[in-house]
């Protein structure tokens, strides 16, 4: 990539004046404080995937009150939405141009551990909570949008009328996945670049993690049923013990990565459920195994699939049993594009400091359906640190997790810097 200053007029760097301007736009204006209030409302009203009706209505309310016309909001893929914020400046000769920014909307089917006394904005929905920070992701994107929509700061007038900032309000990231149906609906049509972020609970606030190439894993689910023949617990010799066979298969599955996958590749097979029988003295006729398979490379996945079939069926046959096996590929790997990753890294170093940006902990094998947006257009998915000021970090998908509000102004500033860079508008923050 060419010099960020010479080739682009410093688009991928932020001067001290730019950083001061961002601080005033996001924090001094009161937008960050409003976004924190919004985050607390969203945290108190979590909804599961494709049921984010209150969530979506609240975001639409915030945007329409700020000046987004109804015709700029498109409902798609059940509870997903696309919102286009179009510039109001003179049209550019090199237009149109569009940058997409994504947030996820859904919560998780978990009961929040904190009481109302401990957390005034705890979930009001029994058995559902924002345990992955999607409430904070939404609030961060809304903060950036509110800055753009504030006519008093003049930002939107600096954006040509044929340039667009597209907000992707994506449902059901936690499954079954809203990104793919959004792409199929056409949400990426006309988009030049796409960006998104996730909170990183173990990293200090004010740090960023980003890496080029594979960033998060491709995940698949495995369902296996072992068929033996049932019998009395006192006479295993007269039966084919499906539980015993399943245990041998599990042991074989867990040896595949260590024995068959090259040491420089990354993969994991985790058996997370074994279920058979209900009685103390009856050998059940079948046993069910559930597992996840995670990798970063299609060739590795092909190898894993081949070896899993061999281990399952050959082991079952060796003990006189029979196996049925299904492997379902879910989200593909998140693969960041080189140029857009360099943009994020450069802006992050300018905003947070050179030592605050790293690739520590990446790639990881957790899955994320932002991958579908990156398959459709160039872009980058990055992480922002959100460890608490005091105490040990509580990781995502824990019933004691809460998003760190200190991320919101940082994320909003990053989004505004990315808008400036992606739309090639060097004077946007002047």
- Residue ranges of the annotated binding site are 132, 134, 174, 198, 397
Annotated binding residues for Mn(2+), written as ranges, equal 132, 134, 174, 198, 397
From the candidates 173, 192, 193, 405, which is the catalytic residue? 173
Active site residue 37: no
From the candidates 47, 104, 106, 241, which is the catalytic residue? 106
Q: Report the 3 state secondary structure along the chain.
A: CCCCCCCCCCCCCCCHHHHHHHHHHHHHCCHHHHHHHHHHHHHHCCCCCCCCHHHHHHHHHHHHHCCCCHHHEEEECCCEEEEEEECCECCCCCCCEEEEEEEECCCECCCCCCCCCCCCCCCCCCCCECCCCHHHHHHHHHHHHHHHHCHHHCCHHHCECCEEEEEEEECCCCCCCCHHHHHHHCCCCCCCEEEEEEEECCCCCCCEECCCEEEECEEEEEEEEEECECEECCCHHHCECHHHHHHHHHHHHHHHHHHHCCCCCCEEEEEEEEECCCCCCEECCEEEEEEEEEECCHHHHHHHHHHHHHHHHHHHHHCCCEEEEEEEECCCCEEECHHHHHHHHHHHHHHHCHHHEECCCCCCCCCCCCHHHHHHCCEEEEEEECCCCCCCCCCCCCCCCCCCCCHHHHHHHHHHHHHHHHCCCCCCCC
Active site residue 241: no
Question: Active-site residue numbers?
Answer: 106, 173
């Amino acid at each position: 990539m060419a010099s960020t200053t010479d080739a682009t007029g410093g688009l991928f760097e932020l001067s001290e004046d730019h950083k001061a301007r961002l601080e005033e736009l996001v924090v001094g204006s009161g937008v960050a404080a409003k976004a924190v209030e919004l985050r607390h409302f969203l945290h108190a009203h979590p909804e599961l995937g494709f049921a984010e009706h209150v969530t979506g209505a609240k975001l639409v309310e915030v945007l329409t009150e700020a000046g987004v016309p109804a015709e700029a909001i498109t409902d798609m893929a059940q509870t997903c939405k696309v919102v286009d914020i179009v510039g109001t400046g003179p049209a550019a000769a090199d237009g149109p141009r569009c940058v997409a920014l994504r947030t996820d909307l859904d919560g998780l089917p978990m009961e929040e551990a904190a009481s109302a006394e401990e957390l005034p904005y705890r979930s009001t929905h029994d058995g559902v909570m924002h345990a992955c920070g999607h409430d904070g992701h939404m609030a961060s994107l809304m903060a950036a949008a509110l800055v753009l929509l504030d006519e008093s700061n003049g930002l939107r007038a600096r954006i040509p009328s044929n340039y667009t900032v597209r907000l992707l309000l994506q449902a059901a990231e936690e499954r079954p996945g809203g990104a793919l149906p959004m792409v199929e609906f056409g949400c990426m049509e006309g988009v030049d670049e796409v960006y998104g972020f996730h909170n990183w609970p173990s990293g200090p606030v004010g740090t960023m993690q980003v890496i080029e190439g594979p960033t998060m894993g491709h995940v698949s689910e495995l369902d296996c049923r072992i068929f033996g023949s049932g019998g009395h617990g006192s006479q295993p010799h007269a039966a084919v013990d499906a539980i015993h066979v399943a245990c041998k298969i599990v042991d074989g599955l867990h040896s595949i990565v260590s024995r068959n996958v090259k040491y420089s590749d990354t993969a994991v097979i985790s058996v997370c459920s074994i279920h058979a029988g209900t009685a103390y003295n009856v050998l059940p006729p079948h046993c069910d195994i559930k597992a996840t398979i995670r990798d970063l490379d299609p060739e590795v996945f092909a190898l894993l699939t081949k070896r899993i079939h061999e281990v399952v069926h050959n082991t079952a046959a060796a003990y006189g049993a029979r196996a049925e096996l299904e492997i379902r590929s879910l989200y593909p790997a998140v693969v960041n594009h080189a140029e857009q990753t360099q943009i994020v890294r450069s802006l992050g170093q300018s905003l947070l400091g050179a030592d605050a940006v790293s690739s520590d902990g990446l790639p990881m094998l957790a899955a994320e359906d932002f991958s579908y947006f990156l398959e459709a257009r160039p872009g980058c998915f990055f992480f922002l640190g959100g460890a608490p000021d005091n105490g040990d970090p509580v990781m995502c998908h824990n019933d004691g997790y809460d998003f760190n509000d200190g991320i919101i102004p940082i994320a909003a500033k990053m989004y505004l810097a990315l808008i400036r860079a992606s739309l090639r508008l060097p004077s946007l923050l002047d």
